[in-house]
Amino acid sequence: MATHLVWFRTDLRLHDNLALAAACRDRQAKVIALFIATPQQWQQHHMAPRQAAFIQTHLNALQSQLALKGIPLIYREVADFSASVDEVKKVCDAHQVSQLFYNYQYEINERQRDARVEKTLDHITCQGFDDSVMLAPGSVMTGNHQMYKVFTPFKNAYLRRLKEGLPECVSAPAAREDELNKLPDITLNYPQDSFDEGLFPADEKSAIARLRHFCQQQAAQYEEKRDFPAIEGTSRLSACLALGVLSPRQCLHRLLTECPQALDGGPGSVWLNELIWREFYRHLMTYHPELCRYKPFITWTDNVAWRSDNGALSAWQQGKTGYPIVDAAMRQLNETGWMHNRLRMIVASFLVKDLLIDWREGERYFMSQLIDGDLAANNGGWQWAASTGTDAAPYFRIFNPTTQGEKFDKEGAFIRHWLPELKAVPGKAIHSPWSWADKEGIELAYPRPVVDHKQARLETLAAYEAARKA
């Protein structure tokens, strides 16, 4: 009897899992599953303790769901990706595996690991799948067969491809044998922080229900509500997408079921754009692996003379900059492992263009905190904010953190929630609390601004202009 091995990585689900479906297609074959934890590698990649807890929760849920199908999940732990190559071979040898199935990961370390696995397993058929994307890298290219460098033409070409034919979703596999019992709890050897299961679904069924509810109730209003952090206007599905608890194809099909005009710019189209942004960054990383190595896409921006200021960096990390919208956002991140998308842009702009601190410091800190940490999306977002990447904001576009707060948290509801020391500040004074406090003769238990925005803006413009001329 043939034995098929499914190697799970960032695809912790049964439904619409291309590798799992392919492995189960032969009803005569025995199917086993494998997950390899690599704590030292995760540490090098700054994986957040909350993301580790999220992985552990979903791994145990996946093990239970696979067991109902008669598929055992083998759990192994090694130091890093290099050691995982040998571990895959050991498992294959021990179980006389004839075929290995896995879903591609596009980061450079992961691609090198997979290439070594295929070379090492020269006696085994290895099959990889473009599972974490709707359309495979290389399928949406310019007329000259180059990767797009700007999002809007990429999006337009992408939408044309989708209209030609939607990527299909595959069903969860049918049960193969009697269900398995006596499942050991999987415990990751990695620091963990608890996460709020009310905010982040703790199993695949809950994630699918969250997706369905969002597409039915909120996707059509996403454009109007997505920029306001005090209201629940976003899907909060990013953590499930990062771990592959949901596939982007599931998101696409559910969205089009509820919002059939989304491909043509109708209701739901703005959320679809967010899914395409995610694809854009994944495709880019495949063709520009230097993005995985902290390199800017626009090379001259490496000449920017960044400030080395540990005090300012620490104030930003702790949410103590004296700019309320920035501080509230950073405290949300530190407390929950998640941050509203508009706020990610605001705090990134503040770190880079007010404090003139290297964007890579922010990228690393985000990865160390985010439950939805994803290298392609995180790198793409930071390079956009820092004006160093593709389709980046021009370097002279610098967010004013005070007016951003006034625009997107007008009455200060979000700020007051995360900065209780400012609850007594009335009305719109919340956005410039020290101006109000000094006028009233009140001393606040809140830091004064670490930098003057107007002066910082001039210094940042000068630094970028000097780098560009260099």
Please list the pLDDT of the chain residue by residue as tens digits (470 residues): 899 999 999 999 999 999 999 999 999 999 999 999 999 999 999 999 999 999 999 999 999 999 999 999 999 999 999 999 999 999 999 999 999 999 999 999 999 999 999 999 999 999 999 999 999 999 999 999 999 999 999 999 999 999 999 999 999 999 998 889 889 999 999 999 999 999 999 999 999 999 999 999 999 999 999 999 999 999 999 999 999 999 999 999 999 999 999 999 999 999 999 999 999 999 999 999 999 999 999 999 999 999 999 999 999 999 999 999 999 999 999 999 999 999 999 999 999 999 999 999 999 999 999 999 999 999 999 999 999 998 777 888 899 999 999 999 999 999 999 999 999 999 999 999 999 999 999 999 999 999 999 999 999 999 999 999 98
Which one from 42, 271, 316, 382 is the annotated catalytic residue? 382
Report how far residue 360's alpha carbon sits from residue 383's, in angstroms, rounded to the nearest whole number: 9
The answer to whether 337 and 243 have CB atoms below 8 angstroms apart is: no
Catalytic status, residue 274: yes
Report how far residue 233's alpha carbon sits from residue 184's, in angstroms, rounded to the nearest whole number: 39
Q: Select from 356, 357, 348, 353 the least CA-distant residue to 326.
A: 348
Report how far residue 240's alpha carbon sits from residue 195's, in angstroms, rounded to the nearest whole number: 13
* 132 CB-near residues (< 8 Å, 6+ apart): 10, 11, 103, 104, 105, 106, 244, 247, 248, 282
The dihedrals phi and psi of 290, each to the nearest 5 degrees, come to -65, -20
Per DSSP, what are the bridge partners of residue 76? 36
Looking at domain 132-167+203-287, its CATH architecture is Alpha Horseshoe (1.25)
The pair of structure tokens assigned to 286 is: 């495949």
Catalytic status, residue 277: yes
The answer to whether 204 and 15 have CB atoms below 8 angstroms apart is: yes
Decide the pairing of beta strands 30-37 and 73-77.
parallel
CATH 3.40.50.620-classified regions of the chain: 3-129
Looking at domain 3-129, its CATH architecture is 3-Layer(aba) Sandwich (3.40)
Residue 391 is predicted with a pLDDT of 75
Report how far residue 418's alpha carbon sits from residue 416's, in angstroms, rounded to the nearest whole number: 6
Q: Select from 281, 295, 284 the least CA-distant residue to 378.
A: 281
Which one from 359, 384, 418, 436 is the annotated catalytic residue? 359
CATH 1.25.40.80-classified regions of the chain: 132-167+203-287
DSSP state at residue 293: G
Which one from 87, 341, 434, 459 is the annotated catalytic residue? 341
Catalytic status, residue 384: no
Which one from 77, 110, 118, 274 is the annotated catalytic residue? 274
Catalytic status, residue 359: yes
Alpha helix (H) residue ranges in 137-217 = 151-164, 204-217
Residue 182 is predicted with a pLDDT of 85
Integer angstrom CA distances of residue 192 from 34, 186, 257, 318? 22, 13, 37, 19
Decide the pairing of beta strands 30-37 and 99-103.
unpaired
Evaluate if pTM is beyond 0.85: yes
Burial of 247 (0-12, 13-18, 19+ CB in 10 A): buried
Residue 1 is predicted with a pLDDT of 84
Catalytic status, residue 223: no
Which one from 277, 338, 384, 418 is the annotated catalytic residue? 277
Which one from 118, 306, 400, 459 is the annotated catalytic residue? 306
CATH 1.10.579.10-classified regions of the chain: 299-469
Looking at domain 299-469, its CATH architecture is Orthogonal Bundle (1.10)
Which amino acid is located at 420 in the chain?
A: P
Residue 374 is predicted with a pLDDT of 97
Report how far residue 165's alpha carbon sits from residue 137's, in angstroms, rounded to the nearest whole number: 16
